[in-house]
Structure 1
Amino acid sequence: MTKRIIYGPILSRRLGRSLGIDVIKTSDTKKNCNFDCVYCQLGHVLKKITGTNDVKGTVTPEEVIEDLRCYHKNIEDLEYITFSGTCEPTLNPELGEMIRGIKKISSHPVCVITNSSLVDKEKIRENLSEADLVVATLVSGYEETFMAINRPADGIILENIINGLKEIKKMDKRPILGIEVMLVDSNIDFPVNHTEREIEKLKETLIEIDPDEIEILTVSRPPAENYIIPVPEDRLKEIATEFEKVFGKERVKLVLKGIKRSRSKMKHVNIEEEIYDLIMRRPCTFKQISVSLGINDKELKVIIDRFLSSKSIKEITAGEKKYYKINR
């Protein structure tokens, strides 16, 4: 199937019902990124992109607006329009123009989910300033832990990321700045980031950045590396309490597994493509697909069985749950 620009809506633990936009359309790789995070739900990056000049297959603002103009009107209960998907959105240099165009045709708030890799560059910060919300990843205040968990392309260092995030907060025109603290545990000897030493350094670093929001979460889908496992919920709650003492309850969000929401109220144009596009961006359980796209179980089972038979998708198990992902 052709990889489409618009996908979803996705039922997000953080943003509610969020319609996704993927701004790099290269179809010969499962993701386009300058990180190779050990926890990534899309698996390994076969070839890390070094910067915006290294990107092939960028989506244009005109393509985004044309696709969005019709698609978002088919969803009655949409809460966000979000740049994410199979790529790092800031790798597309026209991101700011895309956001400006979206705001001309939609009243929904726009979020950019970024790995923070390029925020040290002024042009990237200008692009991000057009969004209503930026959710930027920060896994550690230590360079060695950052390198182990995010596995960035050559030339990306933690100090530049921290300085770039601090500059976003100083901008006259700026988005709400949220920092996503993705915490990981491991079943092998690996530099995990939920120890007391790591948490103390993260607090120090976040005091410097001074974000509007801090989101604390752990892996909830099958990660790229099978030695990465979720941080126990009790530990997450302990860490959230520590952060609340420093930053206040209103700024700290503990994002736990499981959202109970009604099915999306959505008019479908091509259900099979919508399901495939959703699974392409993130492995999903049967229930997650059903609720996100508003498809009844009987109809969805027929389509899933067809995809499995054709080997377009495959079923994997993580913990006690079964997920569907693209078969590549």
Structure 2
Amino acid sequence: MVKAPRIKLGSQGLEVSAQGLGCMGMSAFYGPPKPEPDMINLIHHAIDAGVTLLDTSDVYGPKTNEILLGKALKGEVRKVELATKFGINAEDGSYEIRGDPVYVRAACEASLKRLEIDCIDLYYQHRIDTRVPIEITMGELKKLVEEGKIKYVGLSEASASTIRRAHAVHPITAVQLEWSLWTRDVEEEIIPTCRELGIGIVAYSPLGRGFLSSGPKMAENFAEGDFRQSLPRFQPENLDHNKLLFERVSAIATKKGCTPSQLALAWVHHQGKDVVPIPGTTKIENLQQNVGALSVKLTPEDMAELESIASADAAKGGRYMDGFPTYLQSDTPPLSSWKA
């Protein structure tokens, strides 16, 4: 089996596997939680395959995904780079975006306990609190780095201006964003900003939430409670259009002798040595297939062909439901406006 090589993520010294593992679907959002022993086995299999960047968040479950990783990594924690996130407070069944210093510190302490570790390798702000100047949130994260509770700081779904302001307070190691053959809007401003500042890029949902693996038929098989049922791109009025993208990707994959998901992942890998996709899965065979994407070589002609069929507006429907916070709603007030 192919083993994932190591790369440097960002310019602050973090080294990770060239492909990571998104752990969200093991515990939340994609239907009921999966059996714990199976998921622990999958995590160990990933580590054996060289996939050591493991991505979680305190909102996955909420909290249960971090607990799962804590159990899975007993005795293994030195072999992995553990990334978790704060910023979406999920108390009482409702969601609130928070980035105030008191909350940042409390969330970090709680994640350390659940993960059963004393330092988080990469700690992301999951969503940006637009009530709190980003400098204030980053100031508290900087203190947590100085105290040895975090090694590296990341942002998720942040605008270019927010990234710049945050990076001026404390170096950002990685920005997590959705990037795939059906989500390419980040190429306009956010990717160039990250590259200018020496920030690593972590691509989540590189398989289009599974669409680039299975195509439209996956929408017929969503489990109860799978939040993809409510996403615009999976609605019947958009699926027929999006099916064409999948069919074209599949045709190129057949020519290349790989699966559609391997081709879609290979496209992300070929974006540069500063990009780490983190496909999620709950099945060992899918994990092996994903790692196999590292062996798929794409020529400049292959890349051009893929990009011509997967232009920035190729997919029909928004990424999320209306009102869901993304980098488009992530600018924060000026520091001068803050009253603690």
- What interval of TM-score do these two structures reach, taking the shorter chain for normalisation? 0.3 to 0.5
More RCO (CA 8 Å, sep 6+): 2
In the superposition, the TM-score normalised over structure 1's length comes to: 0.41
Which has a greater percent of helix? Answer: 2
In the superposition, the TM-score normalised over structure 2's length comes to: 0.40
